C-alpha cells in the first residue's frame, strides 16, 4: 500500500450492520486509519472497532435531511488526504451500490490522490440472507434487480414495465417513503396485486425485524417500518418463515 505520507484514501464497505460481516481487509484498515469519514448506516458495533486514536468525522445523510452535502464530503476526503493522513471513507453496505462511492473517487482522481476500494456486503445480500429470503431460487426467481427507491431530482424515472415480471426479485433500497409509488406502479404495469413482498428493518443487527404482506398492502407495512429498511418484492419472500434462522 502507498506510504502513509502520500495522499491516500481507502473507500471501505462496512456491510449491512453485523460487525462479523466486515471483510478482513476492512477490519485491518479501520484499525489503522488516521481519519474515518463515516455515514449514518455504519453500525455502532462496527464503529467500536475503529482505531480509538482516529479522528472521526460523521457525514451521515437521511432523506430530505443531508447532514453534509456530497460535494463537501468529497472535499473533506481531499483535505484530509492532503494533510498526509491515511483516510478511510467508511460506508454502510457496499461502496459502489447506491453509495455514491464512484463520485467520491472521481474527485480524488481530479486531485491526484491515490485510493483503493474494499467492497462490502451490500444490504440486499446481507439482509435477505439473515431474513431467510434467497434472492434467486429455481422455483421462484431466475433474476434479481436492485433499485434505488428515490432518484436524483433531475434523474430519469424508473422503467416500471421492465420490473413487472413474475420470475423476478426486486430489491428497493431507501424505498420506505416511496412505498405507495412502488406499489401503484408495479401493479399498474402488470404485477399481480397479491405478489408477496417483505420489508427487512435494520437487517443483520440484533434489532432486525421482517414484515411480510402482499404487494397491495406494501404501503401499510411500510408505515410500520423505520429506516434503514429494505423492500423485497417477489415470491421468494414466501420462504422467509421456512428459512429464517437469525434470531
Question: 117-175, pLDDT tens digit by residue?
Answer: 999 999 999 999 999 999 999 999 999 999 998 754 455 678 899 999 889 999 999 99
The beta strands (E) that lie in 25-167 are given as 35-38, 55-58, 61-62, 65-66, 86-91, 114-118, 143-148
Whether 180 is covered by a domain: the verdict is yes
Give the predicted TM-score (pTM) of the model: 0.91
| Range with lowest mean pLDDT among 49-58, 64-73, 98-107, 224-233 | 64-73
**Residue ending a domain, choose from 118, 152, 186:** 118
Residue 108 and residue 34 share a domain: yes
Q: How many structural domains is the chain composed of?
A: 2
What is the model's pLDDT at position 1? 43
Share above pLDDT 90 across residues of the chain, in percent, rounded to a whole number: 88
φ, ψ for residue 107, nearest 5 deg: -65, -40
pLDDT at 2 over 90: no
Residue 103 and residue 152 share a domain: no
What is the model's pLDDT at position 65? 55
What is the domain extent for residue 90?
Answer: 8-118
Catalytic center residues: 39, 61
What is the model's pLDDT at position 156? 64
Whether 187 is covered by a domain: the verdict is yes
Please give the grid coordinates belonging to residue 155.
434523474
Please give the grid coordinates belonging to residue 219.
404501503
CATH number at residue 133: 3.30.950.10
Residue 219 and residue 150 share a domain: yes
Question: 192-228, pLDDT tens digit by residue?
Answer: 999 999 999 999 999 999 999 999 999 999 999 999 9
Confidence at 3, pLDDT banded by 50, 70, 90: very low
Amino acid at each position: 500500500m502507498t506510504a502513509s505520507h502520500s495522499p491516500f484514501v481507502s473507500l471501505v464497505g462496512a456491510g449491512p450492520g453485523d460487525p462479523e460481516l466486515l471483510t478482513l481487509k476492512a477490519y485491518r484498515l479501520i484499525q489503522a486509519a488516521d481519519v474515518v469519514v463515516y455515514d449514518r448506516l455504519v453500525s455502532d458495533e462496527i464503529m467500536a472497532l475503529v482505531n480509538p486514536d482516529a479522528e472521526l468525522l460523521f457525514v451521515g445523510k437521511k432523506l430530505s435531511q443531508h447532514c453534509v452535502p456530497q460535494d463537501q464530503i468529497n472535499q473533506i476526503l481531499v483535505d484530509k488526504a492532503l494533510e498526509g493522513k491515511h483516510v478511510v471513507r467508511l460506508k454502510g453496505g457496499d461502496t459502489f451500490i447506491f453509495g455514491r462511492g464512484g463520485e467520491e473517487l472521481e474527485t480524488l482522481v481530479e486531485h491526484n490522490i491515490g485510493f483503493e476500494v474494499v467492497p462490502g456486503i451490500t444490504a440486499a445480500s446481507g439482509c435477505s440472507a439473515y431474513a431467510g429470503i434467497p434472492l434467486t431460487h429455481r422455483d421462484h426467481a431466475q433474476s434479481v434487480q436492485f433499485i434505488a427507491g428515490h432518484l436524483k431530482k433531475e434523474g430519469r424515472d424508473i422503467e416500471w414495465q421492465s420490473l413487472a415480471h413474475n420470475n423476478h426479485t426486486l430489491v428497493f433500497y431507501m424505498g420506505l417513503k416511496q412505498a405507495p409509488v412502488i406499489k401503484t406502479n408495479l401493479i399498474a404495469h402488470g404485477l399481480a396485486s397479491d405478489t408477496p413482498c417483505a420489508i427487512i428493518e435494520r437487517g443483520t443487527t440484533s434489532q432486525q425485524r421482517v414484515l411480510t404482506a402482499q404487494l397491495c398492502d406494501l404501503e401499510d407495512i411500510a408505515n410500520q417500518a423505520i429506516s434503514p429498511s429494505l423492500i423485497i418484492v417477489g415470491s421468494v419472500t414466501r420462504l422467509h418463515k421456512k428459512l429464517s434462522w437469525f434470531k
